[in-house]
Amino acid sequence: MYNDKNKQKIVDIIKNAARKHSLWVLAYGTGCGAIEVPATMTSRYDAERLGVRGAATPRQADVLLITGYLTVKTLKRVIRVYEQMQDPKYVIGFGSCTINGGMYFDSYNTINQLDLYLPVDVYISGCMPRPEAVLEGFGKLQELIGKGIANGAQQYKENLDFYRENQKKVIKNWDFQDYNW
Amino acid sequence: MESLLMNILGAVTTFLLAFAVGMTYGGLRRKIVARVQNRYGPPFYQNFIDAFKLYSKSTAIHHGAMHFLGPAFIMVSSVVSLMFIPVLTNNQWFPNLNFQGDLIFLIYIMVFGPLGMALGAGQTGNPNSAIGVTRGLSQMVGFEIPWVMALIALMVQYKTTSITGLLDIQVQSGHWFMFENPFAFSAAILASLGMFRYSPFDIVGAPTELASGPMSENGGKFLFVMMSSGSVFAFVKLTLIVDLFMGGASNLIILVIKTFLLYMIPVTYGIVSPRYRTEQSITYFWGWPLFFGLIAIIYAVFF
Amino acid sequence: MDIINIILVIFFAGALITAFAAKISSIVQDILFIGTILATSIIFFLNINTNTETIINLSHINLTLGLTPLSLYFAFIVFGLAVLAGFYAVGQMQGKKKKGYFYFNYLLSIAAMFGILVSKDLVSFFIFWEIMTWSSYLLVIYNGENVQKTGIKYFVLSAIGAYSMLMAIVIIHSLTGSFLISDLISGFNNMSANMQILIPVLLLTGFGVKAALMPLHIWAPDAYSNAPMSYTAIFSGALSKMGIYGMVIVFLTLITKLPQETLIRDIIAWLGAITAAISTLWAIKQDDAKRLLAYSSIGQLGYIVVGVAIGTPLAMLAGLFLAFMHGVFKSTLFMVVGAIEKQTGTSNLKEVTGLIRKMPWTFIAALISIIALAGIPPLGGFVGKWMLYESLITSNHYLLVTLVFFSSTAAFLYCYKFLFGFFLGQEEKEWSHVKEAPAIMVVPMLILSLISVVLGSFPQLILKPINSALSYYSLPDTYNNLWKESMIFNKWGDQVALTPIVYGVAIVFIVFAVFLFFKNRKTSRYVTTKDISTSGEVPKEHENLTFKENFFQPFLRAVEPAMKRQMDKYMLAFAKGLEDLFDFTRRIYNGNGQTYAIYAIIFVIILLLLSNNLFS
Amino acid sequence: MVGTPVLFIVIPLLAAFIIPLTGMVWKNSVRIIPGLVLSYMLALSVSLMWHITETGTVVEVIAGWKPPIGINLVFSPFSGFLATLMIFLGLLVWAYSYKFKRNVDSEPALKYFILLMLLVTGSVGIVLTGDIFNMFVFIEIVGISGYGLTSFYTRRDSAEAAFKYLFMGSIASTFLLLAIMIIYSQLGTLNIAEIADKMPMMSNKLKVISLIFFILAIGIEAEIFPLNGWAPDVYTQAPGPIGAAFAGIVVKSAIYASVRLVYTMFDLSGALDLFIVIGLITFIVAETTALRQERLKRMLAYSSIGQMGLVMVAFGIGTKEGIFAALFLIFNHAIIKSLLFFSGSYLVYNKKNKFIKHVNGMGKYLPITSILFTIGAFAIIGLPPFAGFWSKLAILTAAADSKMLMLIAIILTVSILEAVYYLRVINRIYFFPKKKSTEAKKPTLNALIVMISLGIIIMVIGFYPDLITGIIDRAATDLMDKTGYIKDILTINN
Amino acid sequence: MEKYLEILNYTIYGAAILLLLIGLYGALTKKSLIKIVLGLSIMDSGVHLLMISIGYLKNGTAPIFSPGHENELAKMVDPVPQALVLTAIVIGFGVTAVALALVIRLYKHHNTLRIDEIKNLKW
């Protein structure tokens, strides 16, 4: 149903309206970005007024928030968490490290570009991005959802081979179950 | 045939009312908590959005039959107990299912839900779920005692075990039981703190340590059912206390006012309290609430 | 010959033949065993008659056998369970040693239970009681060397009970000159006040042992958990009910005539309630399913005792109804454990996990029985619990009802532990080979759980015989008064109508089950229990994701003060002390012939010194 | 009339002296003749029992001297019952040990059977005689044959046991003589009936003293506490069947003697209470001691002592029900304890110390013996439907009828201990693994027959006690009837 | 003279009892098996003496019935104790013999004659 990018059924409009105002975030607290999330959620910036709310487990979450650099080891877990999330799901890359490796661009054990491995819907740049930027990122994501074009999960499913290839390139001890839906 | 149809219609209306009220109260609670924490907070209808979103999520995986049936059990508990509670005193709008309800039956059907949730959570195999469930059941043993004692005090005092009977006595005499037997009311209120599982008694979900406990493997529709069941259940509990202690409600507005006031007790208590450990939570209920319960029974017997 | 005699003879003959048929073939043995049970139960069910009376004349004692409505009710339990557990036992005993031994004692104890129920005089009652005791004792020690202590404990406690009963019996005989129960009842008013207290107390001690009442219960956990499970189904389901049967008679006929009636009733009821509470706590602590169920049995028997002891019509109904229900669901659960033990080789809740997909039918039986056990509507257990609470509240036992309620609520904990431990949780590779138990074991369980379900909506099936049993002992007719069809009400007129409840629960359940289950079953995919949110970690085979250790630790920590003291330990210490004492006293026989001679002289001297007092 | 009571004494005595002679001619006659003699005696006594139901007590006057001057033998329902029982047990012991002695050391079967015959003679004599000095003689016969049988095996500690027995026995005989002499010097007669008749003439003090001496002397044979130190040793060290013979024959005769004393001869009111107290103490001490035994036979011995204490208690109750119960208990104890000794000695066969642990796992290797032992144990514990239950019920009923509630409580409490130690053994038999060094000895055919017939008797009596209760009832009535006894003897004309 | 005889009578009783007590003392206190057997024998003798003295009649005649001596019936000593004592002596002899035989066996078996060391069978 996400195939037609510009055409949404009325049901989808309602659904997306609900989805964009109810983003349950699974904050994968890697790197230094994790410290920005509490600030975003608590009283000064209060992301909850936008419907953004923490989720405890991947099964409940809509948004995977990756807050910083990802070592290869961490990547493995992130992929698993992502695959455990239920559709519809979105990924927010948080901070420069997820975009181009940031200050770890030449590290031997971090990945440089997150969207080679996971379909990122929204990047938030900065090192680190301030809560205002984070909120901006969430706003962007809501906008995309409202339009019905935040379809990273769809991409992932379609281009699974590509992602798998990239993932297996860096992750040597590959022991995942198949991701077959 | 017609009455059956009316019954079903009435059941659906009651359910919808309970759902709506429960959801709204949940949203209001979030708002209030946010305001207390000096935040703006989500809109009061945020819970509806969340519920709808959860409903619209896909259910791509499951862990077996009990994973499906567990939420169904919870819903059974909430809805059936709703069926047996007189929502309003004059039975004009919701006449059909205000069955000559029995209090003991209600006590039992109310624990049906946690057990069903426990089963559903059990099959997922997540250790956090099991831990959450054990905590929940333990806590339940804690608060059931003062709760039951309060109810027994009422039953003893007015020589009936029927909810409707207790309600009728209040309506006819015009005296609320919360003033007739304040100790029973105190015990019931303190026990209801535990029933709502808001902080400081939120040891079951405990998102920070148990990853939301029994719910941790449930997303999408499962969570939707759980959430709506929780809302209905909140309504059930509030209405029950209103019926038992506060003279019921003759129309919806009074009902909402009374239940909302009642609801504010656990909410406000929760805002200012940090979380208990499990055994602290249990022994909390075996302290003052139990004492109040005892006094309530003695009061009921001798005065 | 009379029907009762025929049944008894078939039982005894069948037991002997079955025991010796081991020489011929194992299958013949099975067939004989089942044949005996079936033959007797068919004869019984086809010829139910409470009018006949058989008298066996001995020179000093007349043994009178005959059915009363009350014993008929209990005989239903015994025979029903005997047949079902019999089929189950055949399945469970396949390939086990000492089959003949097992069948022999099994049949004998069933026969003895039947004998107890048809006894109209105290001597035959006692005879069958003792046969029941030793045949069950032999089955308790079935598992060999390491259960000897258990066996001795069981036997000693049983002997304490039986002997206090025997004492009561001989006292009754000396006072009334007859062993007939009816003579006891009619002659009870003429006895002196002391005897009127002593006799019921002694009898209650005797019955209390089998009913696992508080200070006499220490045998039960070990005995229940160590007997073969197919027998424990009978043991806990039917045999323990014999104690209840006796108590019912005592309470209905003797205690009512006492001036101290309320005191005794309260004491026994409180004992029952305390039994229920403490054993529930202990059940929560157990890690072995058998012991868990054993403690649970004690607790449930505690409720029954409470009902019987309070003794108002509703309480009696509750007690007897719960007795039936307990027979049904607890034997199912023991059968479940037996099936699991047979399939996996262990009954430890910590070890076995995730059998729900391996043994689905067993799980269904377990689930239904657990719901019935927890007393959750709409199954049969709730009906009994409801009647119990209502009767306690309407008869002014407010603290008692709180205590009972506490244990009933706490029972959820072990109920969940049982289900979770065996069927839910992680599916370990260790148990991936496990298959469903054979049909001969599963079908009895399912039949029993079906009974639990049926009784939830049609309790009148059981309430009717209870009613006639109670009216036999001159309690008021309860039909129209306390129950009518599937409506039950207390004396204040408050009622619970089971039909709407059952319909309501069923409809709502089906609606949501359809909503979740059937709608999503096709579109969703089963994933193993390894695929859970473990902070992104991929669980390895060796990693233990099962939460079993210290399952209810916080709760147990909260109730720790109540569990500090254990009757068991006191009794064992007492026994140890006695043994040490006897070890000391037997040193009188020091082996020196001269000392013995000196004893003799001292004996004479003492007698001579005392002669003035002795022979006046 | 089929025969006279004197044959009970004469025939076995004769046989005992003839056996050595015939043994020189035909070796097997040593084994066979005692059996024939005992069977004949059994037939005789049974027919006599039959006879006396019609004609009443048979009094046999020896050598034409009428009572009270001459010695007389009394075959009353009471003494006849005991005599029959003893002869029956003697026969069983004979049958059990028929092949038993063939391969034991080099000791000939000869001595064994002679002594056995003497033992039976003496015991039957004690029961039948109506003369206290004669009773003394028979007691000494029993004693001496008992010493011999006890020390039968030279390899064991049997001499030690025999010496203890002898030591106590000598003291007993001394005091018995003293007591007899006191009575004789005062009343001038030795006939029991006449003594009973004249007893009011005796001064109370001497009466008491003589009774005490009697109790000491007979109490040593009857194994009452504290005079029973020898008993366990003897039971343990004597050959297996002799244990049964002691428990079933010798002790019974001593009990008979004491009962005869108290019920017939002495008219002291406190004596029955003394019986209860002594019996109870014996019962308690013996059973508690048995609880802690490590050796099977010793345990059985203490159990036997305890049962005897119970019999004393039952006699001490003093009512007819009490005597009925006591006699029933005597009967049951005789058959049950014999079965236990018989089967028990196979369970610990060829073991020097005969520890209880040696029975481990025997249920598999000696199935029939084990089942019989189990039946015996269940019966002696008093579990229905075995024989022991009825006697236990009888004794308790008797106690209850006499309003002795504490007595009932104590008996039942101690019975629990009894159950415990028997069950320990049974558990070991069936559920403990056998030690490799333990080897099972299959019982010989004759032993098996004896044990099975005993087991059947136990079961049959258990299911239908009426078979025996009639006889016991008559015996009890007879014992209660003191004047009848005196009349029967003193007015005899033949 | 009669007085003396009376005293003598009591003396005999006294002596018999004394003998009995001496024997008893020996049997109960001496540790040697032989001495114990001796003590038992002495006890026996004491009893036998007592028995005889009971039957004794001063100036009595032998208890022989013969025509013409009917008036001496009252003067005859009682014959029964004599018969009894003969029996008793025989029995006592037999017992002593068995006892000594046992003592020999005990000595062979235990290499001691001390009774308090022969305690294999106890408790």
Task: Compute φ and ψ for A21, nearest 5 degrees.
Answer: -100, 10
Instruction: Round the average pLDDT of chain D to a whole number and report it.
Output: 84
Q: Which residues contact C429 (CB under 8 A, 6 or more apart)?
A: C541
Q: Tell me: the pLDDT tens digits for E50-73?
A: 888 877 766 677 777 777 666 666
- Is residue D168 within 8 Å of C596, Cβ to Cβ? yes
CA–CA separation, B124 vs B212, rounded Å?
A: 14
Full domain range(s) for residue C502: 260-531
Residues 44-103 of C with CB under 8 A from D: 58-60
Neighbours of chain E (3+ CB pairs under 8 A): C, D
Residues of B in contact with C512 (CB under 8 A): 71-72, 75-76, 225
Instruction: Say which of D144, D161, D178 has its CB closest to residue E98.
Output: D144
CA–CA separation, B243 vs B188, rounded Å?
A: 12
Query: Which of E24, E32, E115, E121 is the best substitution to test chain C (most C C-beta atoms within 10 A)?
Result: E115
Helix (H) or strand (E) holding D72: strand D72-75
Look at C596 and D167 and tell me if their CB atoms are within 8 Å: yes
Cα–Cα–Cα angle for B139, C508, C318, rounded to 5 degrees: 60
Q: Tell me: the pLDDT tens digits for C172-205?
A: 888 888 888 888 888 888 888 888 888 888 898 8
What are the Cα distances from residue D157, in Å, to C304, C595, D160? 59, 18, 6
Instruction: Say which of B59, B111, B148 has its CB closest to residue C524.
Output: B59
DSSP string, D434-453: PPTT----PPPHHHHHHHHH
CA–CA separation, D403 vs D397, rounded Å?
A: 10
CA–CA separation, D129 vs D5, rounded Å?
A: 10
Residues of D in contact with E102 (CB under 8 A): 147, 151, 159, 162-163, 166
Report pLDDT for C464: 86
Helix (H) or strand (E) holding D19: helix D6-25
Look at D227 and C596 and tell me if their CB atoms are within 8 Å: yes
If one counts every other C-beta atom within 10 angstroms of the C-beta of residue D445, the result is: 10
* CA pseudo-torsion sign C29, C30, C33, C38: negative
Report pLDDT for D105: 44
C501 and C385 share one domain: yes
Instruction: Say which of B40, B57, B218 has its CB closest to residue A46.
Output: B40
The token pair at C263 is: 């005191």
User: Do the domain assignments include residue D457?
Assistant: yes
Report pLDDT for A8: 65
Number of Cβ pairs closer than 8 Å across A and C?
Answer: 23
Query: Are chains C and E touching, using the cut-off of 8 Å on CB pairs and a minimum of 3 such pairs?
Result: yes
Span A143-150, average pLDDT: 84
Look at D285 and C583 and tell me if their CB atoms are within 8 Å: no
Report pLDDT for C557: 86
Rg (CA), chain D: 21
Full domain range(s) for residue D372: 269-463
Report pLDDT for E5: 67
Q: Which residues contact D422 (CB under 8 A, 6 or more apart)?
A: D303, D377, D378, D380, D381
Span D467-486, average pLDDT: 85
- Is residue A50 within 8 Å of A137, Cβ to Cβ? no
Look at A81 and C536 and tell me if their CB atoms are within 8 Å: yes
User: Do the domain assignments include residue D418?
Assistant: yes
Number of Cβ pairs closer than 8 Å across C and D?
Answer: 168
Q: What is the ipTM of this complex?
A: 0.86
DSSP string, A76-105: HHHHHHHHHSPSS-EEEEESHHHHH-GGGT
Residues 250-269 of B with CB under 8 A from A: none
Span C501-519, average pLDDT: 78
Instruction: Say which of D147, D170, D292 has its CB closest to residue E40.
Output: D170
User: Do the domain assignments include residue C95?
Assistant: no
CA–CA separation, D230 vs C584, rounded Å?
A: 19
DSSP string, D395-419: HHHHHHHTT-HHHHHHHHHHHHHHH
Tens-level pLDDT at each residue, chain B (303 residues): 567 777 777 778 888 888 888 899 988 988 888 888 888 888 888 888 888 888 888 877 878 778 888 888 888 888 888 888 888 776 656 655 666 667 888 888 888 878 888 888 888 878 888 888 888 888 888 888 888 888 888 888 888 888 888 888 888 888 888 888 888 888 888 888 888 888 788 888 777 777 777 888 887 788 888 888 888 888 888 888 888 888 878 788 888 888 888 888 888 888 888 888 888 888 888 888 889 988 888 888 887
Q: Which residues contact D24 (CB under 8 A, 6 or more apart)?
A: none
If one counts every other C-beta atom within 10 angstroms of the C-beta of residue C190, the result is: 10
- Is residue C181 within 8 Å of C167, Cβ to Cβ? no
Q: Does domain E2-117 have CATH number 1.10.287.3510?
A: yes
Distance from chain centroid for Cα D415: 21
Look at D159 and E94 and tell me if their CB atoms are within 8 Å: no
C593: left (phi over 0), alpha (psi -120 to 50) or beta: alpha
Instruction: Name the DSSP class of A27.
Output: E
The 3-state secondary structure of B79-131, one letter per residue: HHHHHCCCCCCCCCCCCCCCCCCEHHHHHHHHHHHHHHHHHHHHHHCCHHHHH
Cα–Cα–Cα angle for D34, D38, D40, rounded to 5 degrees: 120
Reduced to 3 states (helix: H, G, I; strand: E, B; else coil), residue C608 is helix
Instruction: Say which of E28, E116, E122 has its CB closest to residue C589.
Output: E122
Number of Cβ pairs closer than 8 Å across A and B?
Answer: 88
A77 near C CB under 8 A: yes
Q: Tell me: the pLDDT tens digits for C115-154?
A: 898 888 888 889 899 888 888 888 888 887 777 788 888 8
Q: Tell me: the pLDDT tens digits for A9-51?
A: 788 888 888 888 888 888 887 778 788 888 888 888 888 888 8
Look at E116 and C594 and tell me if their CB atoms are within 8 Å: yes
Cα–Cα–Cα angle for E93, E94, E95, rounded to 5 degrees: 95
CA–CA separation, C246 vs B131, rounded Å?
A: 43
The 3-state secondary structure of chain B, one letter per residue: CHHHHHHHHHHHHHHHHHHHHHHHHHHHHHHHHHHHCCCCCCCCCHHHHHHHHHHHCCCCEECCHHHHHHHHHHHHHHHHHHHCCCCCCCCCCCCCCCCCCEHHHHHHHHHHHHHHHHHHHHHHCCHHHHHHHHHHHHHHHHHHHHHHHHHHHHHHHHCCCEHHHHHHHHHHHCCCHHHHCHHHHHHHHHHHHHHHCCCCCCCCCCHHHHCCHHHHHCCHHHHHHHHHHHHHHHHHHHHHHHHHHCCCCCCHHHHHHHHHHHHHHHHHHHHCCCCCCHHHHHHHHCCHHHHHHHHHHHHHHHC
CA–CA separation, C467 vs C387, rounded Å?
A: 14
Residues of A in contact with C537 (CB under 8 A): 77, 80
A176 near C CB under 8 A: yes
Instruction: Round the average pLDDT of chain C to a whole number and report it.
Output: 85
- Is residue C526 within 8 Å of B67, Cβ to Cβ? no
Most confidently modeled range among C506-520, E84-98, E106-120: E84-98
For chain D, give the longest Cα–Cα distance: 69
Q: Tell me: the pLDDT tens digits for C526-573?
A: 777 777 777 777 777 777 777 888 888 888 888 888 888 787 888 888
Residues of C in contact with B149 (CB under 8 A): 402
Instruction: Say which of D133, D144, D293 has its CB closest to residue E84.
Output: D133
C386 and C329 share one domain: yes
Reference C473, options C308, C248, C262, C243; nearest CA is C248
Query: Are chains A and D touching, using the cut-off of 8 Å on CB pairs and a minimum of 3 such pairs?
Result: no
Look at D181 and E43 and tell me if their CB atoms are within 8 Å: no
Instruction: Name the DSSP class of C478.
Output: -
Residues of D in contact with C135 (CB under 8 A): none
Residues of C in contact with B127 (CB under 8 A): 545-547
C320 and C371 share one domain: yes
Q: For the whole model, what pTM was predicted? A: 0.90
Neighbours of chain B (3+ CB pairs under 8 A): A, C
Residue D106 has pLDDT above 50, yes or no: no
In one-letter notation, the amino acid at residue C204 is L
Residue A181 has pLDDT above 60, yes or no: no
Reference D307, options D358, D380, D250, D241; nearest CA is D380
Residue C219 has pLDDT above 60, yes or no: yes
- Is residue D375 within 8 Å of D472, Cβ to Cβ? no
Could you tell me the residue ranges of all domains in chain E? 2-117
Instruction: Name the DSSP class of E43.
Output: H
C507 to chain B, closest Cα gap in Å: 9
* CA pseudo-torsion sign D204, D210, D212, D214: negative
Structurally, how many domains does chain C consist of?
A: 2
CA–CA separation, B104 vs B154, rounded Å?
A: 12
Task: Compute φ and ψ for C370, nearest 5 degrees.
Answer: -65, -40
Number of Cβ pairs closer than 8 Å across B and C?
Answer: 235
Full domain range(s) for residue A147: 10-169
Structurally, how many domains does chain D consist of?
A: 1
Q: Which residues contact C85 (CB under 8 A, 6 or more apart)?
A: C230, C231, C233, C234, C237, C331, C335, C444
The token pair at D323 is: 């005597």
Look at C558 and B221 and tell me if their CB atoms are within 8 Å: no
Q: Tell me: the pLDDT tens digits for C355-365?
A: 888 888 988 89
A58 to chain C, closest Cα gap in Å: 6
E121 to chain C, closest Cα gap in Å: 5
Reference D340, options D391, D380, D368; nearest CA is D380
Look at C587 and E120 and tell me if their CB atoms are within 8 Å: no
C507 and C574 share one domain: no
C396 and C300 share one domain: yes
User: Do the domain assignments include residue A33?
Assistant: yes
A47 near C CB under 8 A: no
Q: Which residues contact C26 (CB under 8 A, 6 or more apart)?
A: C99
Regarding predicted confidence, which is higher, C485 or C363?
A: C363
Give the residues across from D61 on adjacent strands.
Answer: D72
Structurally, how many domains does chain A consist of?
A: 1
Orientation angle between helical segments D466-480 and D445-463, nearest 10 degrees: 80
- Is residue B129 within 8 Å of B213, Cβ to Cβ? yes
Reference C239, options C109, C408, C89, C333; nearest CA is C109
User: Do the domain assignments include residue D21?
Assistant: no
If one counts every other C-beta atom within 10 angstroms of the C-beta of residue C553, the result is: 15
Query: Are chains A and C touching, using the cut-off of 8 Å on CB pairs and a minimum of 3 such pairs?
Result: yes
Query: Which of C538, C540, C541, C542 is the best substitution to test chain A (most A C-beta atoms within 10 A)?
Result: C538
Residues of C in contact with A81 (CB under 8 A): 533, 535-536
Reduced to 3 states (helix: H, G, I; strand: E, B; else coil), residue C309 is helix
Neighbours of chain A (3+ CB pairs under 8 A): B, C
3-state percent breakdown (helix, strand, coil) of chain E, nearest 5: 75, 5, 20
Residues of C in contact with B108 (CB under 8 A): 375-377, 382, 385-386
Query: Are chains E and B touching, using the cut-off of 8 Å on CB pairs and a minimum of 3 such pairs?
Result: no
Instruction: Name the DSSP class of C430.
Output: G
Identify the band that residue C58 occupies on the pLDDT scale cut at 50, 70 and 90: confident
A58 near C CB under 8 A: yes
